[in-house]
């Protein structure tokens, strides 16, 4: 089955940088539509949209990260990235990758579509 796997999180001091990666795999991926990076703070039920990117490469950002974070995608490698600079303690959260639609082709199962698909998350901790 299709998988989204986040990586690149860790512990960093305020002002430092991290680069998160979201790798899509499973079968033959034909297309991935919009992708978003979300974060969930400890103890909260909701996930905040941090940055999103369309299939055409158009990006948007939450006001809290604008000018510091950059989202990008590589459709050949089936990767989405989030470059995070000038990190602040308020950025501490679990970061998740989400794709609203993934189209795959498998020799056994044929064409399949996946909607609102999430990765497992990667922890980002920013110390003062």
Encoding tokens for residue 77?
């490698």
Residue 108 has a pLDDT of: 81
In the predicted structure, residue 46 carries a pLDDT above the cut 90:
yes
Give the model's confidence band at 9: pLDDT under 50 very low, under 70 low, under 90 confident, else very high.
very high
Kindly state the average pLDDT of the residues 52-76.
97
How much is the average pLDDT of 3-14? 97
Residue 110: pLDDT above 90?
A: no
Longest Cα pair distance anywhere in the chain, in angstroms?
52
Residue 74, judged by CB atoms within 10 A of its CB (0-12, 13-18, 19+), counts as: exposed
Neighbours of 39 (CB within 10 A): 22
Q: Rg (Cα) of the chain, in Å, rounded? A: 15
The residue written with tokens 């990586």 in the block is 7
Mean pLDDT, rounded, for 42-66: 96
């Amino acid at each position: 089955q299709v998988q989204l796997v986040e990586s690149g999180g860790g512990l960093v001091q305020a002002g430092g940088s991290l680069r998160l990666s979201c790798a899509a795999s499973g079968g033959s991926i034909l297309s991935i539509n919009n992708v978003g990076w979300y974060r969930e703070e400890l103890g909260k039920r909701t996930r905040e949209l941090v940055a999103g990117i369309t299939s055409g490469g158009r990006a948007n950002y939450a006001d809290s990260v604008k000018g510091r974070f950059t989202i990008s995608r590589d459709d050949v490698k089936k990767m989405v990235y989030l470059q995070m600079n000038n990190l602040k303690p308020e950025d501490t959260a679990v970061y998740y990758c989400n794709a609203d639609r993934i189209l795959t082709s498998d020799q056994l199962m044929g064409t399949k579509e996946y909607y609102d698909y999430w990765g497992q998350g990667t922890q980002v901790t920013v110390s003062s």
